[in-house]
Amino acid sequence: MIASGGRLAAAITVAASAAYIVVLTSGFALVKAGVLSTPFGEGATAHVVLGVLSIAFLVVALVVATVVVTNAFTLVTATRLRDIALRRLLGASARTERRRILREGARLSLAASGVGLLVGAAGVVGLTIAAAAHREPGQALAITDVVDPSIVLPLIALQGCVVLAAWRGSAAVVSADPATALGAAIVTESGGDGDRRIGWAARLLLATGLILLGLSVLGGALTPLAAFVGVAGGTVLAAGILASATGILPRFLRLIARILPRRGPAAIARATLAEHPARTARAALAITIGVSIVTMFAVASASTNLSLRLMYAGTPLEDSATSVIDDVLGIVGVLVAMIVLIAAVGLATSVALGTRLRGREIAARRVLGQSRRHAVISVVLETVVICATATLAGLLLGAVLGWVGAQSVLGSALPWKMVVPAIPVSLVAVLAAGTLLVAVASAVMPVRFVMTDSPIRAFARA
């Protein structure tokens, strides 16, 4: 059931990403067509801004999709480890087993992309009708305004990302010991010590990303083309963060976990948090990405809005400028919602995986005398700390990236060459509430497991 859940999560993610790509390219094509008919159409800035935005959104979606699909395939692989071990025992090589998962990933990716394409197309038709109704008569909407042939490229990139994700997610196959199929040995997780170190490649990515972002902030004062440097920097930084998440997030977690008392169920929560850095980081990563994206765009648009309003204040262009921005923000809102949806799917799979792997431990602690209530308290505390840490990390990262983005695109257009950073207060409140909600929701499954299962049944199944 969990394995098919993992496949379903992967399929939903790929379909949503494909639909997202369609909506994104067509949406931006529409906005471009709209912008050209305004006084901003002559300026190079508007083109660059839109180009950069659409590329940034593509990159973000591909990164998120890769992370989520990797998680999903990790889950699928974990649940099949025994089957795989049996086939290995009967003579299958680890390579064939991994290829089998890769083929499955590719098939799933193609099928889900097809579905996503249809859903996205339906969305675009709706969008076009809405846009046409919005237009003044006489301004016909050409088909080339809506359909952009370059859409093929991101769709191909998506397939590549899914195959990559399937490959990384199936890494556990290599560790499937044929002996586990004999039933005597127990499938255990390897110790996570190796995961805690941050590799030099990740360090290099982080440093390069930060340097590029710094350059784009400075360059933003000169030309909007600095935004391309910014996107590159953001992508490299994101790759660095993904590569080092199992090293960085646990450190952050340990810091936050210090607020937990050292006794009772909180002590157990502390111990389990420190115990599986890779697993915890995976669960936190989905939230961190979701929160940082929301924050990034909220901060970017708030900062842009504030700066433009300050710049055009009192001129007749004030309304026109903000209306273009509102158009863009409308589409951005839809896109962000889709990314958050994908990230939520990722969180759900991480939690399912965690519960499955944790079931045995929870059962062991219950047998050793932990009461139900305490088991529930420690599970809930664990999830709350993970969610709070992930949200905080996402907020910080997103705020910085958002401001850098706005600065690199708009800095040069402003008389004072610097975008004024603005953080919407309501955002922080919404995110705090959202985090709490997510924490509670993701604790539901483990808690139900604790409440309904006798420790012995849990042992038998785990």
Closest by CA position to 286, among listed 332, 342, 362: 342
Q: Give me 235's structure tokens.
A: 């992508």
Options 368, 415, 425, 426; binder of other proteins; rule CB under 8 A: 368
Judged by beta carbon, residue 126 or residue 194, the one nearer other proteins is 194
Q: Cα-Cα-Cα-Cα dihedral of 154, 156, 162, 163, to 10°?
A: -150
Q: Give me 200's structure tokens.
A: 């030099």
> Is 365 a binder of other proteins (CB under 8 A)?
yes
> Is 369 a binder of other proteins (CB under 8 A)?
yes
> Is 163 a binder of other proteins (CB under 8 A)?
no
Cβ-Cβ contacts under 8 Å for 153 (sequence gap 6 or more): none
Options 268, 343, 404, 443; binder of other proteins; rule CB under 8 A: 268
Cβ-Cβ contacts under 8 Å for 323 (sequence gap 6 or more): none
> Is 190 a binder of other proteins (CB under 8 A)?
yes
Options 1, 90, 137, 263; binder of other proteins; rule CB under 8 A: 263
From 87-95, 185-193, 341-349, 389-397, span contacting other proteins (CB under 8 A): 185-193
From 57-65, 115-123, 211-219, 360-368, span contacting other proteins (CB under 8 A): 360-368
Are 411 and 417 contacting, i.e. CB atoms less than 8 angstroms apart? yes
> Is 330 a binder of other proteins (CB under 8 A)?
no
Using alpha carbons only, how large is the chain's radius of gyration in Å?
Answer: 24
Are 148 and 29 contacting, i.e. CB atoms less than 8 angstroms apart? yes
Judged by beta carbon, residue 143 or residue 184, the one nearer other proteins is 184
Residue 123, CA atoms < 13 Å, CB-side half-sphere: 21
> Is 356 a binder of other proteins (CB under 8 A)?
no
Helix (H) or strand (E) holding 135: none
Least Å distance, CB 170 to other proteins, is: 22
From 5-13, 61-69, 112-120, 271-279, span contacting other proteins (CB under 8 A): 271-279
Are 300 and 413 contacting, i.e. CB atoms less than 8 angstroms apart? no
Task: Output the CA–CA distances (angstroms, integers) from residue 250 to 146, 149, 178, 429, in the order listed.
Answer: 45, 43, 32, 25
Closest by CA position to 382, among listed 279, 313, 310, 307: 279
Least Å distance, CB 380 to other proteins, is: 16
Are 410 and 44 contacting, i.e. CB atoms less than 8 angstroms apart? no
> Is 361 a binder of other proteins (CB under 8 A)?
yes
Options 139, 144, 315, 454; binder of other proteins; rule CB under 8 A: 454
Which residue in the block uniquely carries the two structure tokens 């919602």?
337
Least Å distance, CB 85 to other proteins, is: 16
> Is 310 a binder of other proteins (CB under 8 A)?
no
Which residue in the block uniquely carries the two structure tokens 């086939």?
87
> Is 358 a binder of other proteins (CB under 8 A)?
no
Please give the Cα distance from 268 to 382 (Å, whole number): 9
Binding mask 215-254 for other proteins (x = CB under 8 A): ----------------------------------------
> Is 264 a binder of other proteins (CB under 8 A)?
yes
Determine the size of the site formed for other proteins (CB under 8 A): 34
> Is 370 a binder of other proteins (CB under 8 A)?
yes
Closest by CA position to 265, among listed 166, 374, 349, 156: 374
> Is 429 a binder of other proteins (CB under 8 A)?
no
The residues of the shown chain that bind other proteins, judged by CB under 8 A, are: 184-186, 188-193, 263-264, 267-268, 271-272, 274-276, 360-361, 364-374, 454-456
